[in-house]
Amino acid sequence: MDASQSMLENIRPYVGRELGTSTWLQLDQARIDEFAACTGDRQWIHVDVERAKRESPVGTTIAHGYLTLATLAPSAFELFVEPWGIAHVFNYGLDRVRFISPVKAGARIRTRMKLIAAEDKGGGRVLITTENTIEIEGEAKPALVAHALAMLVN
């Protein structure tokens, strides 16, 4: 049996099941400003606190959608990479992302992750797909829902 088949056998029982929820993470203005500096996306809705108070429909600055999306990586490490003892994991892309609700500066978010597919790619590699719902504390609607792909390698 190849290493990927062994890994797949260990993962297969989790397909269709929720893997858990990550710990809460606060997206404060300092983090939003750092992301803006890294990406060059300094749109006022993210970085101009006074203007956002006056003009934003939500009355404050909001986190960048891609900043919120970027929190999937640490969530993956928390929910399956470290607990499963995965030696190597590579971001393989996204199949679908929907930004549903804005994340106000200072809000806390967490990821609810479900394993929806696991495919043997041979050579000690398994491609998994997770459905990730990033919840906003105290809000009825999530910030986003994304189907993420990761290549697990023994």
50-75: per-residue pLDDT in tens? Answer: 999 999 999 999 999 999 999 999 99
3-class DSSP state of 71: coil
In tens, the pLDDT along 20-51 reads 999 999 999 999 999 999 999 999 999 999 99
Q: What are the domain boundaries of the chain?
A: 3-26+64-153
Whether this model's pTM surpasses 0.75: yes
Region 3-26+64-153: CATH code? 3.10.129.10
Rounded CA separation 90/28 (Å): 28
Q: What confidence tier does 9 reach under pLDDT thresholds 50, 70, 90?
A: confident
Give the helix/strand (H/E) hosting 125.
strand 125-136
Q: What are phi and psi of 30, to 5 degrees?
A: -60, -45
Q: What confidence tier does 1 reach under pLDDT thresholds 50, 70, 90?
A: low
> Which two tokens mark 120?
């043997």
Q: Which candidate, 105, 96, 76, 109, places its Cα nearest to that of 145?
A: 96
The predicted pLDDT at position 5 comes to 65
What is the C-alpha R_g of the chain?
18
